[in-house]
Structure 1
Amino acid sequence: MLVPFLIMLREGIEAALIVGIIASYLKQTGRGQWMPAVWIGVFLAAALALLVGGGLELMSAEFPQKQQELFEGIVGLVAVGILSSMVFWMRKVARSIKHSLHVSLDHALAGSKHQVTALIAMVFFAVAREGLETVFFLLAVFQQSEGAAAPIGALLGLILAIIVGFLIYTGSMRLNLSAFFRWTGLFILVVAAGILSNSVQALHEAGVWNHLQTVLFDFSATLPMDGPLGSVLAGMFGYQDAPTVSTLGAYLIYLVVALVMFFLPAAAPVKQSSSVSSQ
């Protein structure tokens, strides 16, 4: 429950911040009448995420066992890629995201025609990114979890994210966003390592990856995956009680590389010249 809760909380707050920045800027610049277009963009982005998630889940339910394992492995690999890019993208643009959104808003509303369409499209693509990231992550988590704990955790995270986003927008709450995204980003990288390890195992069970299958150690007698602690560790960090060379190797290699990149100093944003050449 904790993993989908934290991911939905992070992604929800990120989406809420984007919408909040847009709404505040429209209000500050006397363009509050454009807010209905903003909500249309948000609604369309949420609808797309639900359709993609529901469609993939229904499609996978019809697969035979080996194809379902292959689907789970592919979804897991996609989720790892998306989660990794999400963490490093936010780390790179966190300081400039407000300015970038203001520029995009001004550009969308600058023309005399199709302003509503341009604004809806801008909000749609900004929020849809967060929604699709969340969809692939939750699919990977739900496929590796049993029972209602994971969906309940995701729902609670979304509800709390909406409340926190609203409180931040109204000024009722101040959150150290830099620390929040840094620590949740670190947690996401550890979770992504576990998803990668499980994806390698799923590809093996699907018959696609059959290399490096030597079992390194077996803790199934002392800390089984289906036990109370083992299930928690498996759900949060991808714990396996009898890992192979390929699954543990994928876990460690990804984690080491990701953590090194994460703790390297962030590159300073490139400043663009404000001068425009006349023609």
Structure 2
Amino acid sequence: MLAPFLIMLREGLEAALVVGIIAGYLKQTGRAAWLPAVWVGILLALALTLFAGAALQALSSGFPQKAQELFEAIIGLVAVVVLTSMVFWMRKVARSIRHELHDHIDAAFTGGRNATLALIGMAFFAVAREGLESLFFLLAIFQQSEGLAVPLGALLGLLAAAALGYGIYWGGVRLNLRLFFRWTGIFILFVAAGILAGALRALHEAGVWNRLQATAFDASHWLPLDSVAGSVLAGLFGYHETPAVGEVIAYIAFLALTLPWFLWTPAPPAPSAVSGSPG
């Protein structure tokens, strides 16, 4: 439950920050009458995410077993790329996102463009980006986990993100997003490594990848997958009690490449909107 909770909290908070900056600037500059356009963009993005999720789920349900495994592997690989790019994207744009959004809003009202369509598009792309990223992550996790813990954790994460976003917008909540995004970024990279190992396992079961299949170690006697600790580690980091050598190599290699890059890159300051009202 913790992995979907934290990732949906982060994704939802990213979207809430962007929308909050847009809404706050409209209010600050006397353009609050255009706020309904922002809501239209949000609703359209949510509709797109739900439609894409339903379509992918319906598509996968008709596959034979090997094709199903291949589809799961592809979804897992896409989720790894999406999660990793999301972590580094936020580090890159955190410094300038507020000013860039303000510039886009000003240009929409002064450049002869249709301001309503521009605002709808800004809100739509902000929420759709986070929604589609979340979609691929959740599909990958759903395929590797069972029970209600994953959807419940994701729902709680979204609700918490909405509450924090609302509190930040009105200035009642102050959150150090530099530390928040840094520590959740580290956590997400470990989650992505586990998804990558699981995708490699699915590729083997689909008959696509058959190398490095010797068992790296057998932890079934001291940390079985059906134990409390084993199930928690499996849900968080993709733990498997008898992983193949290739899965272990993929897990370690991914973290060896991404963690130093993430930790050594100077962390930009969080958007100023997070310390109070964006307006």
Same fold judged by TM-score > 0.5? yes
- Choose between structure 1 and 2 for higher RCO, CA contacts under 8 A separated by at least 6 residues: 2
Q: Quick one: which amino acid aligns to residue 253 of structure 1?
A: A
Return the TM-score normalized by structure 2: 0.93
Alignment match, 2:205? 205
Task: Say which is worse superposed, 211-220 or 252-261, in terms of deviation.
Answer: 211-220
Deviation at 1:222, TM superposition (A): 2.3
User: 1:191·1:236 contact (CA, 8 Å) conserved in 2?
Assistant: yes
Aligned to 2:277: none
Partner of residue 234, structure 2:
234
Name the residue aligned to 1:139: 139
- Aligned pairs for 1:35-114 (under 5 A) are 35-114=35-114
1:187 counterpart residue number: 187
What is the CA distance between 1:170 and its match in structure 2? 0.5
Identity over aligned pairs, percent: 62
Return the alpha-carbon distance in structure 1 between the equivalents of residues 221 and 69 of structure 2.
26
Q: In 2 relative to 1, CA 240–134 (structure 1 residues): closer, same or farther, beyond 3 Å? A: same
Q: Which residue of 2 aligns with 1:252?
A: 252
- 1:114 Cα shift? 2.4
Alpha carbons 2:168, 2:174 under 8 Å: kept: yes
User: Counterparts of 2:232 and 2:148 in 1: how far apart (Å)?
Assistant: 14
Looking at structure 1, the residues matched to 69 and 118 of structure 2 have their Cα atoms a distance apart, in angstroms, of 41
- Provide the C-alpha distance between the structure 1 equivalents of 2:107 and 2:53, rounded to a whole number of angstroms: 32
Query: Following the alignment from structure 2 to structure 1, what is the Cα–Cα distance between the partners of residues 175 and 267?
Result: 24
TM-score, normalised on structure 1? 0.93
Deviations 1:34-80 (A, max 9, x none): 10100000111111111111211121122121111111100000000
User: Equivalent residue for 1:28?
Assistant: 28
Structure 1 residue 264 displacement after superposition: 1.5
Is the CA contact 1:72–1:140 (under 8 Å) kept in the aligned structure 2?
A: yes
Separation in structure 2 between the aligned mates of residue 111 and residue 96 of structure 1, nearest angstrom: 21
Cα root mean square deviation, aligned = 1.4
Superposed displacement of residue 110, structure 1? 2.5
- Aligned CA distance change for structure 1 residues 162 and 267 (closer, same or farther; 3 Å): closer
Tell me, in whole angstroms, the C-alpha distance in 2 between the residues paired with 1:79 and 1:8: 13
Gaps of 5+ in 2: 270-279
CA deviations 1:74-109 (Å, max 9, x no partner) are: 000000001000000101111111111111212222
Match of 2:123 in 1: 123
Q: Which amino acid aligns with 2:83?
A: L
Q: Distance in 2 between matches of 1:144 and 1:163?
A: 29
Larger deviation: 70-79 or 53-62?
53-62
Q: How many residues align?
A: 269
